[in-house]
A = this chain, B = another copy of it.
């Protein structure tokens, strides 16, 4: 069973609506009505040694930092500001005290970059492998959260940054090649797009948003499904990461997970206004923002080649496989 099927079945088990809950399961964060004109955002991410990271590739501090950034990215994807963090860490009894501390130091250093406060957690031993679960809490101006479900026919599709570097870096580590240090850093030391997410929310032009954690096409697929629309992405517009030997191929840019860039849609009627805001913002945000497609009637995501044909992708992104079939 595939991860999303598992989540779907679990979601069906229970009611999902309650007073004050603006969004439950199904987006990057759950959203609650707060006070003082702010809403609360909350999200949990789990990280498992051998699945999400290999201790042989990275220092404990880098792994801790990377997990925190991945969790914070869920707040960024709603347009929020990260505020608090809770860490559940299960530490193998074969690990040294200094390594155990280094994981938490990486998490703490990254949290401090965002002026986040660690407000609790749980520390236990593990029989096998390190496991981390990071819960992040953020806030956002009341009603300003950007959801996956907001895309409408006629909207324009955008993405922040350039894509494919993370998968290229992972490939370098897996094949134990030398060089490509920028790609390796892109994989090992990603940064959540918090300032960009908040700015995009502030423009008032953005109708939906998601972070690119499972690969651009798969994540846009979540937007399409939640919004009940189709998305057409122009392959020639996708910003591809430049390596020592040229750009990564389009398949890598489309499927690369853990990019932590933001994919979003802009109201078609406000797109001109949005484009007028862009030049001043780009210098401050420090990365490109690229128009890559449009929202259409229909369902799913199509990548259109310059000749008008449809690009066939072997792999649209990453999904965990849950359980053996009976």
Contacts and interface: CB of A to CB of B under 8 A. Distances in A.
Q: Which of A36, A124, A137 has the most CB of B within 10 A?
A: A124
A178 interface: no
A35 B20 CA distance: 10
Interface stretch (A11-19, A168-176, A238-246, A251-259): A11-19
A45 B97 CA distance: 21
A91 interface: yes
A124 B21 contact: no
A30 to B, nearest CB: 4
B46 A323 contact: no
A44 B104 CA distance: 16
Contact of A13 (B10, B17, B108, B322): B108
Nearest to A127: B50
Interface string A103-131: 01100100110000111111111111101
A10 B119 CA distance: 11
A300 interface: no
Given A14-B108, A35-B35, A119 B30 contact: yes
Interface in A143-158: none
A177 interface: no
A326 interface: yes
A73 interface: no
A50 B127 CA distance: 6
Contacts of A17: 117
A46 B131 contact: yes
A101 to B, nearest CB: 7
Contacts of A16: 117-119
A284 interface: no
Contacts of A44: 44, 86-88, 120-122, 133, 135
B323 A1 contact: no
